[in-house]
Chain A
Amino acid sequence: MSGTTAAQTAKHLLEIKGLEVGFKTQNGVVKALKGVDFTIDAGETVAIVGESGSGKSTTAAAIINLLPGSGQILAGEVLFEGKDLAKASRKELEDIRGKRIGYVPQDPMSNLNPVWSVGFQVEETVKANGLAAGRKAVHAKAVEVLENAGLPDPGKRMRQYPHQFSGGMRQRVLIGIGLASKPRLLIADEPTSALDVTVQRRILDHLDTLTRDDGTALLFITHDLGLAAERAEKLIVMYKGRIVEAGPSLEILQNPLHPYTQRLIAAAPSLASRRIQSSSEHLGSIHHRVDDAASSVDLIDAAELRVEHVATAAAGPAIEVDGLTKVFKLRTGGLKTEDFTAVDNVSFQVPKGTTLALVGESGSGKSTVAKLLLGLEKATSGAITIDGRRSEKLAGKELLALRRSMQPVFQDPYGSLDPLVNIGATISEPMRVHSVGDRTSRRERVFELLDQVALPKAIAGRYPNELSGGQRQRVAIARALALKPDIVVLDEAVSALDVLVQAQILKLLADLQGELGLTYLFITHDLAVVRVIADNVAVMQKGRIVEQATTDEVFDSPSQQYTRELLDAIPGAGIKMGL
């Protein structure tokens, strides 16, 4: 491979030295990068891993000098093929962007202009980079670009508009655009975070092939340690604008030296799932390296704890769903409607005090099941029995009583709390609605709940926008627990959180379940999380449950092809953890 020989010469393809980036705010310049150094050689795949706010995306944007808003490079050099891009003129940068350095943005939903056809946007790139001249040649080149990106029937698809493409197809188009002029370096900023795992896997496999064939170096930005380690040879772990650890992926995974990296590895569900499969003694060394026990969580410990208490839990179903079906009427223009079956003859049981994980990709109907269960939507047919009572026909007072025993926690910690209501009032609202207790007793209960979710009492007078995502999710859990429910429906409740926070919330949920004997319906797209939280798993595909078994059975001997695909697509599944 030509890239490898180039790499062995002393010169690096990209060399970043002492890079500092600041954003101007009302309180002066805030540094997002505080001196970052790393190199990428030709043909190499490097992943930057970090949580939100670590500066990983800022690093990517600084390389091509496309910092958003008030961002600016304060110090340092970005040497690309020996040329300092930090000091390059606008003209020089425009020549390099697209042609020498390709860029694949994070969100495939918003990075294609909805008013132009996909073909037009690809042709635009082809023209801007001077890859072809003349209308016919440009068109032919654009078709070729899309074909290389793995888009089926590109000639026909070019005339279509972005909204007619699925998320995965749009990301293929963006990757095609990024690689159109065979750049030396491709920067991919969370290229698959918005996609389903099976789609993510196909796209990344394809990206691997493309970059390997052309000897393109790949800088890959992600929050998922498992994904990074699986896809990249070199790993850079960033924390608060600094690189805390860098080196060969496997070596970092097996022998993390910085406490932050150790914490990340202990908390990453994809790796935890992998570690449960491998022998725990082999990686046992990671456990006692984590020194700050108070704020770090090892998911394996949490999972073991759960198994212990579940063994003692009493049986008997808390939730029983039988033949549940929900048909939506979709408007197909004019007055015509078309039936769309979102939930198709779904049946399951959740024994008291246990967790059932409902797993599926987007559009599988898992969230609709949650809404039907909570009575936020009416079922078309089927029966829901909660604690021995048929719930789907309840109304008025009985529905209110049912709501007391079953509470939800939603995915988006930024959207699930009313921004104008303070935390104390948010948590006590369910008690006020159900006229439970008086002012003082409600106050007492709010403090008790805050204590249960490990938040200080002083937070009661605060407003949601002052809290981090994890804190908000704790508040949402406290609100759900206010009426002492038996059942909590967790709809993607940890999906939007950073890894470390996610691990803490998972542990909190497990602790609360042990303490209060709660029954969880845990809805998620992330099979990796399931392994550490659930007792039973139901896999949904296109509105139907395709497989249902205990967690260990599903992970160790999945009976369905679809489940196997999902399991294989868990990032990190391909890593050999030194076995």
Chain B
Amino acid sequence: MSSDMTGAGATRSASHFVASVEDAPIDSVDAVKLDEKPSNLWIDAWRDLRTRPMFWISLGLILLILTVALLPTLFTQTDPRACDLANSLAGPGPGAPLGYTKQGCDIYSRIIDGTSTSLSVGLIVILLTTVTGVLFGALAGFFGGFVDTVFMRLGDIFFSIPYILAAVVIMSVFSENRNIVVIALAIGVFAWPTTARVLRSEVLRVKNADYIMAAEATGLSKMGILLKHVLPNSIAPVIVVTTLSLGAAITAEATLSFLGVGLPPQDYMSWGNEISAAQRDLRTDPQTLIYPSIALTLTVLSFILLGEALRDALDPKARALR
């Protein structure tokens, strides 16, 4: 065959071109470049986040909401429970910048006071779903087989029940002693499978990497591999899901309170309760409903925006596509 080729080559006049070395200088092969700053997934994600206005806006809002929840007295001195029926549905006045509810309570101070309720419910829920979800998801994905089957079918059972429906039932059972922990449990008990599934699929991807096999060959124990190599490499999507579900948990609390199976209105300030109480006066006095709704929307939105920003920053593939 090669003789054929020499024959074909001979009939054609292909000239031998050589670029001058000045035009195409040669680097030393595989030289080490150390002029750039260190980087890995987290450092890169932070560099990426820093340049996103959406990250700073949502972070600013969340910090503001946290401050309101922790130090409500910084924002209002009015007692949200000191209501005077004489002010029923009155417009904005001194000490009440957003007007009064039907019961004559200051809308502004009630919204400020409700912040801590919403946030505490949200935080307890994600604490619960993250701990449960990470535990079940990581063990199921890493050990596979029987463990996987048991944990994931358990998750499927919980997943098959709409968590709002389940929460309504649980709250009805606990009608006597409803409090923040009970409502958070009612929401969280049925929400963890999402986290578990996300983590499990990541763990499945990571555990087949060569560096896991290399770690095994050095003699690192199974648990050591899971904690040192598998989890750090698979936790990023969980952080995104957690941020997003914090918003969802706050909405769920408001929904339950709106339906009358949430926190008792006489004991807790809750945006859901405010919206529920205001619905009858929506046509005549929309401000009683609109202001708590804005507070709810703003809080949920800032967590969702933060989650989106984190997702974009932590997923290098999404970054490359933009």
Contact = CB atoms under 8 A, between A and B. Distances in A.
Interface of A: 4, 7, 41, 44, 208, 230, 233-234, 239-240, 242-252, 257-260, 263, 292, 294-296, 374-376, 399-400, 403-404, 407-408, 410-412, 415-422, 429-430, 433-434, 455-456, 458-459, 461-468, 470-471, 476, 479, 483, 500-501, 504, 574-576
A374 B218 CA distance: 10
Nearest to B23: A242
B15 interface: yes
A434 B224 CA distance: 13
A230 B9 CA distance: 12
A243 B19 contact: yes
Given A422-B38, A465-B40, 13 more contacts: A4-B8, A233-B8, A242-B19, A249-B5, A258-B19, A292-B26, A400-B219, A415-B211, A463-B39, A463-B40, A464-B40, A466-B33, A479-B218
B86 interface: no
B38 A461 contact: yes
Mostly, the A contact residues are: mixed
B214 A258 contact: no
A294 B14 CA distance: 34
A248 B31 CA distance: 31
B159 to A, nearest CB: 26
Contacts of A296: 29
A222 to B, nearest CB: 16
B157 interface: no
B16 A407 contact: no
Interface residues of B, number: 49
B214 A420 contact: no
Contact of A434 (B12, B26, B219): B219
Contact of B211 (A407, A417, A455, A463): A417
Contacts of A374: 217
A263 B17 CA distance: 17
Interface in B11-31: 11-12, 14-19, 21, 23-24, 26, 28-31
Contact of A419 (B8, B12, B41, B218): B41
B16 A246 contact: yes
Nearest to A463: B40
Interface string B201-233: 000000001110111111110001000110011
B41 A258 contact: no
A421 B23 CA distance: 40
B2 interface: yes
B318 interface: no
29 contacts: A230-B2, A234-B9, A239-B26, A243-B19, A247-B14, A249-B9, A260-B24, A295-B28, A375-B217, A403-B218, A403-B219, A408-B213, A411-B210, A415-B209, A416-B211, A416-B213, A416-B214, A418-B209, A419-B41, A420-B232, A433-B224, A455-B32, A458-B34, A459-B34, A464-B40, A468-B30, A479-B214, A483-B218, A504-B30
B36 A466 contact: yes
B74 interface: no
Given A404-B219, A504-B30, A574-B2, A418 B16 contact: no
Contact of B2 (A403, A415, A420, A576): A576
B82 interface: no
Contacts of B233: 418-420
B163 to A, nearest CB: 33
Contact of B29 (A7, A208, A244, A500): A500
A244 B219 contact: no
A247 B12 CA distance: 11
B42 interface: yes
Given A257-B18, A259-B26, A459-B34, A419 B40 contact: yes
The CB with the most chain A CB atoms within 10 A, among B3, B29, B213, is that of B29
B29 A239 contact: no
A403 B214 contact: no
Contact of B220 (A243, A248, A433): A433
Interface in B32-56: 32-34, 36, 38-43
